[in-house]
């Protein structure tokens, strides 16, 4: 596993990476920025609601993929919200549900995102996310990141969710690059493991200093913020 610039430079040639692809939720955009609206609607329950909502959202993507009963990410997210409210004994009236779902279209980017993406602008940048196309374009527009990404790719095109290789395979086909020339960046270890198994170079953004999952695949680089990623890959185009 490589965790510093010198190790990275010693292993890879200057032509190794041709593009960088980012997960959206939890990597570029803070899914728990919905906590404030959760707290407004359900005082003292905001953090718990956000946490259960996110856990169940991810779980439903995996379960639906395994079951072969795909629903798009908007529907999955709404189902997860309904479950989370029921689990916490909170009312989920239609108007409340609509406000909470709308918050997912306006998630806050992490503080370093704009600066880091600007520092990486010599690479073609793309998003690959489980989010539906409408959700992804809305959150990018809300964060004023229009024009930063050459492609915004949704798992909806494959009708299955990450970490299925069918989702990662959308990237080289759309970008016209060999998968070994693509770097994939995610804060979700399971996502990094899936991308690494597929054949991408991978970077895990480990903001929480969490242990890695035991899935048999490890990231090429681990960073705490996207700013550190810019410092790692910059030597490839100097």
Question: Residues 77-121: pLDDT tens digits?
Answer: 999 999 999 999 999 899 999 999 999 999 999 999 999 999 999
Quote the pLDDT of residue 9: 42
pLDDT band at 235 (very low <50, low <70, confident <90, very high): low
Instruction: Compute the average pLDDT of residues 158-180.
Output: 97
Asked whether residue 237 carries a pLDDT value surpassing 70, the answer given is no
Quote the pLDDT of residue 238: 41
Instruction: Compute the average pLDDT of residues 208-235.
Output: 92
> What average pLDDT is seen over the chain?
92
Name the residue with tokens 């550190």: 228
Interstrand relation of 151-154 and 182-186 (parallel, antiparallel or unpaired): unpaired
Instruction: Compute the average pLDDT of residues 144-160.
Output: 97
Instruction: Compute the average pLDDT of residues 128-156.
Output: 97
CA distance linking residue 32 with residue 149, whole number of Å:
23
| CATH of segment(s) 31-103 | 1.10.150.240
CA distance linking residue 23 with residue 188, whole number of Å:
8
pLDDT band at 10 (very low <50, low <70, confident <90, very high): very low
pLDDT band at 1 (very low <50, low <70, confident <90, very high): very low
Quote the pLDDT of residue 8: 46
Would 5-28+110-236 and 31-103 be classified into the same CATH topology? no
Quote the pLDDT of residue 26: 97
Q: Which residues are annotated as catalytic?
A: 23
> Is residue 60 within 8 Å of 79, Cβ to Cβ?
yes
Rounded percentage of the chain residues whose pLDDT exceeds 70: 92
Q: Where are the domains of the chain?
A: 5-28+110-236, 31-103
Closest CA to 12 of 202, 206, 190: 202
Overall fold of domain 5-28+110-236? Rossmann fold (3.40.50)
Asked whether residue 38 carries a pLDDT value surpassing 60, the answer given is yes
């Amino acid at each position: 596993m490589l965790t510093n610039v010198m190790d990275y430079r010693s292993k890879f040639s200057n032509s190794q990476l041709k593009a960088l692809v980012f997960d959206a939720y939890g990597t570029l955009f803070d899914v728990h920025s919905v906590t404030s609206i959760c707290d407004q609607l359900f005082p003292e329950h905001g953090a718990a609601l956000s946490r259960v909502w996110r856990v169940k959202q991810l779980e439903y993507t995996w379960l639906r993929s395994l079951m072969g009963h795909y629903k798009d990410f908007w529907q999955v997210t709404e189902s997860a919200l309904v479950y989370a409210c029921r689990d916490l004994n909170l009312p989920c009236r239609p108007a409340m549900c609509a406000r909470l779902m709308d918050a997912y279209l306006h998630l806050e980017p992490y503080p370093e995102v704009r600066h880091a993406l600007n520092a990486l602008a010599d690479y073609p940048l793309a998003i690959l996310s489980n989010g539906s196309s409408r959700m992804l374009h809305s959150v990018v527009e809300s964060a004023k990141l229009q024009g930063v990404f050459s492609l915004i790719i949704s798992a909806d095109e494959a009708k299955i969710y990450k970490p299925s290789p069918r989702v990662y395979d959308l990237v080289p086909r759309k970008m016209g690059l060999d998968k070994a020339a693509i770097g994939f960046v995610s804060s979700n270890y399971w996502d990094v493991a899936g991308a690494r198994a597929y054949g991408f170079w991978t970077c895990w953004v480990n903001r929480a200093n969490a242990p890695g999952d035991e899935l048999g695949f490890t990231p090429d680089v681990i960073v705490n913020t996207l700013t550190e990623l810019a410092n790692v890959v910059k030597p490839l185009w100097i």
